[in-house]
Amino acid sequence: MEKYEKIKVIGKGAFGTVHLTIRNEDKKLLILKEISMEDMTADDRASTLNEVQILKVLKHPNIIQYYENFLEGNNLVIAMEYAQGGTLYDFLMSQSSPLKEENVTNLFMQIVVALHHIHTMNILHRDIKPQNILLDRKCKVCKLSDFGISKVLNTKTKAFTVVGTPCYISPELCRGMAYNQKSDIWALGCVLFELMTGKKAFEAPNISALVIKITSGQYKVSELPKIYSGQLVGQLKRLLSLDPTERPSVDEVLSEPFFVCPLIDLYLNIGAVQ
């Protein structure tokens, strides 16, 4: 740990602690995620090691950067990029009025290009939500994070394990059916709804009621502010199609004429498209 100087604890979980840290060689701020492996179940240990392996291969400006990992006693330590703006969830909760459509499409397309990079490598994220999307200091650049339950698929294979955060789980997963990248697309639609409204697309007092809402596609279109164009609302509806075959792939989202201008703007101003 001589390479790093811890500043403060910024998060705690069941198995570890997240430290804001300075890297001594260049005084760069970064995150050290210390995870105690001692009391973990085999599944939790596998999830942690899975995140490390996936972070190692994902290099993209809209994905939290991995630096290194090492063992210190019984702790696995992961050094990662620090996003000073916090989570997209916190940013949306701080807004007193709806985001402009230009801001919605800009943030949304950054998430899309990150997801495109992941899906190109046959990886499912499986837990896309505003809490797992981090922002830079100016809240202009977003970065996908938290790959603990992501899954690497062989080409054309599907996953069956029920994982993810309930409000963002796809209808096919609720029904116990197989799913592939289109389940991430459903969660992407849920995030777009939150970008537009500041509210979750699907909420209910209990899991049973939530499953009914999700499997019947009961989200409130009436809650969408009138400031948004019919084209954007139409894209949202496509992403939240109950039939996964009717949802677009990330390639199809990127090729949508409606998103061409936001994509060009993203490329020119942030360089996020690779």
- State the catalytic residue, choosing from 127, 146, 243, 251: 127
| DSSP string over 226-262 | TTS-HHHHHHHHHHT-SSGGGSPPHHHHHT-GGGHHH
Q: Confirm if 143 and 130 have CB atoms less than 8 A apart.
A: no
Q: How many other β-carbons are positioned within 10 Å of the β-carbon of residue 182?
A: 21
Q: What is the CA radius of gyration of the chain?
A: 19
- Residue 127 annotated as catalytic: yes
Residue 27 assigned ligand-binding role: no
Q: What are phi and psi of 168, to 5 degrees?
A: -115, 5
Which strand ranges, in their side-by-side order, compose the sheet holding 66-72? Answer: 4-12, 16-23, 28-36, 75-81, 66-72
232 is written with which tokens? 């954007």
21, exposed or middle or buried, with CB in 10 Å at 0-12, 13-18, 19+? buried
Catalytic residues: 127
**Residue list for the binding site:** 33
**Residue list for the binding site for ATP:** 33
